[in-house]
Amino acid sequence: MRRREFITLIGGAATWPLGARAQQPGKLPTIGFLGATTPSLQTQWTAAFVQRLGQLGWIEGRTIAIEFRWAEGSRERCALIIAEFLRLKVDVIVTHGSVAVLAAKQATSVVPIVFPVESNPIEDGIVASLARPGGNITGLSVQRADTTAKRIELLREIVPSLRRLAILVNIDSPTGVLEAGQVQTTAQTLGLEVAKSEIRQSADIAPAFESFKGLVEALYVAAEPLVFVNRVRISTLALDARLPTIFAVREYIDAGGLLSYGPNFTDLFGRAAELVDKILRGTKPGDIPVEQPIKFELVINLTTAKALGLTIPAAFLLRVDDVIE
Chain segment 174-218, per-residue pLDDT in tens: 888 988 999 999 999 999 999 999 999 999 999 999 999 889 999
- In the predicted structure, residue 100 carries a pLDDT above the cut 80: yes
For helices 205-212 and 231-240, angle between their N-to-C axes, nearest 10 degrees: 30
Residue 240 lies in a domain: yes
> Do 111 and 156 lie in a common domain?
no
* Statement to judge: residues 212 and 282 lie in one domain: no
Shared domain check, 120 and 169: no
Whether the pLDDT of residue 325 is over 70: the answer is yes
Q: Would 7 be classed as within a structural domain?
A: no
Residues 54 and 160 in one domain: no
| C-beta of residue 35 within 8 angstroms of C-beta of residue 47 | no
- Of 109, 45, 97, 50, nearest to 71 by C-alpha is 97
Task: Say whether both 128 and 253 belong to one domain.
Answer: no
**Domain match, 158 and 229 both:** yes
CATH number, domain with residue 91: 3.40.50.2300
| Domain match, 89 and 170 both | no
* 13 occurs within a structural domain: no
pLDDT at 117 over 70: yes
Assess whether 135 and 187 both reside in one domain. no
Q: Flag whether 12 is in a domain.
A: no
What sign does the dihedral 25-29-34-35 (CA atoms) show? negative
- Residue 4 maps to a domain: no
Residue 295 pLDDT: 83
When divided into structural domains, the chain yields a total of 2
Q: Are 178 and 124 in contact (CB under 8 A)?
A: yes
Per-residue pLDDT of 158-167, as tens digits, reads 999 999 999 9
- CA dihedral of residues 51, 52, 57, 60 (deg, nearest 10): -40
Q: What residues make up the domain containing 43?
A: 18-143+265-295
93 and 168 co-located in one domain: no
pLDDT for residue 119: 83
With a pLDDT cut of 90, the percent of the chain lying above it is 77
Average pLDDT, the chain: 89
Please check whether residue 107 lies inside any domain of the structure.
yes
Per-residue pLDDT, averaged over 8-32, amounts to 52
Whether residue 247 is found in the same domain as residue 317: yes
Given a cut of 80, whether residue 18 has pLDDT beyond it is no
Q: Which of 29-38, 115-124, 241-250 has the lowest mean pLDDT?
A: 115-124
Taking each helix axis from N to C end, the angle separating 98-107 and 75-88, rounded to the nearest 10 degrees, works out to 40
Per-residue model confidence (pLDDT) at position 23: 42
Q: Which of the two residues, 184 and 3, has the higher pLDDT score?
A: 184
The greatest distance separating any two alpha carbons of the chain, rounded to the nearest whole angstrom, comes to 66
Q: Are residues 185 and 313 in the same domain?
A: yes
The whole-number average pLDDT for the span 91-105 is 94
| pLDDT tens by residue, 70-90 | 999 888 999 999 999 999 999
pLDDT band at 26 (very low <50, low <70, confident <90, very high): low
Does residue 112 lie within any of the structural domains?
yes
Specify the pLDDT at position 143: 73
- 312 and 235 housed in the same domain: yes
Task: Give domain status of residue 65, yes or no.
Answer: yes
